A and B are shown apart, each in its own frame.
Chain A
Amino acid sequence: MSDLFIAIIATLGTIFVLLAAIGLVRMPDTYLRISVTTKAATLGIGLILIAAAFYFKELSVTSRVLAIILFIILTAPIAAHLIGRASYFIGVKLWHKSVMDDLEGKYKKVTHELMSEDIEDESTAIINTIEETPNDTKNK
């Protein structure tokens, strides 16, 4: 019974990880890849770790597992946020089927200050339009 439970959780976790992997390969632009994968993987790994905690049934293991999960949940979105905004700075374009880009022209070029409204002088702002060519892999 316990084994079955562990197997199920572990399987679920593995599926999410696999989904994240597939998502990372398939998604058409960087932001989507970040978006899709961060959580799927987090969830998947969390489940697998929980499976391990159930398997060992030891307080020290469980607490460690919780610590890891906590840490991942805490850091994964931050990591996604960091790399997402960094992508924007370096000019990674959005997928051509994207419907809007509210961020356009709101970063100051040099200081990377982010405004809540448009910057008047366009020459000082990072302009990062949606990709024109429908080529999925050539973002840059």
Chain B
Amino acid sequence: MKTIILKTASKYLLPLLLLFSVFILLRGHYLPGGGFVGGLIASIAFVVYAFANGLEQTKDLLRIHPGYLMPVGLLIAFVAGISPMFLSALPFMTGEWFAEPLAVIGMVGSALFFDIGVFIVVVGVSLTIIFTITESA
């Protein structure tokens, strides 16, 4: 859409929303949120940007095709899932935890990495779907 107003606003909204999405991701274990909703917010950030500035510019911004985020996220989740099998011969998806809580995030463990994987996949999926549809529209 050719509107200066949205274009300008979207440039400021993008980093804010991304920040917010990470915030939602990290606190999911303690409060509502988590990888899924976080990922959605991140993709909304890009989608709004894309509506305002066009797909090409958004893709340039992303540098890689959003589709590649999907395997990346899945791989992170997969590694988080199998890590206990290799680290301590425990079943798939068993939580592995660092002994001490980290500031901000709290306890860090494989579940967090799993959630990060979810986050990335959701971003990849939403963007792929919306971009593809918009492109062919």
Chain A contact residues, CB within 8 Å of chain B: 67, 71, 74-75, 78, 81-82, 85, 111-113
Could you tell me which B residues sit within 8 Å of A by CB distance?
A: 1-3, 5-6, 9, 12-13, 16, 20
**Are B20 and A81 in contact, with the CB atoms below 8 A?**
no
| Contact of A113 with B2 in the complex, beta carbons under 8 Å | yes
> How far apart sit A94 and B5, CA to CA, in the bound complex (Å)?
23
Secondary structure of the A side of the interface?
Answer: helix
Q: List, in ascending order, chain A residues with CB within 8 A of B20's CB.
A: 67
Residue in chain A with minimal CB distance to B10: A78
Contact A78 B5 (CB under 8 A): yes
CA distance A82 to B16 in the complex (A): 21
Given A67-B20, A82-B1; A74-B9 close (CB under 8 Å): yes
Q: A78 and B1: CB pair below 8 A?
A: no
| Contact call A81/B3, Cβ cutoff below 8 A | yes
**A85, B1: Cα distance in complex, Å:** 11
* Minimum C-beta distance from B28 to chain A (A): 15
Q: Given the complex, which residues of A lie within 8 Å of B16, measured CB to CB? A: 71
CB distance from A62 to the nearest CB of B (A): 15
Residue of A nearest to B51 (CB): A82
Rank and list the top 8 A-B pairs by shortest CB-CB distance, nearest first: A78-B9, A81-B5, A78-B6, A78-B5, A112-B2, A82-B6, A74-B9, A82-B3
Some 20 contacts from A to B, beta carbons below 8 A apart, are A67-B20, A71-B16, A74-B9, A74-B12, A74-B13, A75-B9, A75-B13, A78-B5, A78-B6, A78-B9, A81-B3, A81-B5, A81-B6, A82-B1, A82-B3, A82-B6, A85-B3, A111-B2, A112-B2, A113-B2
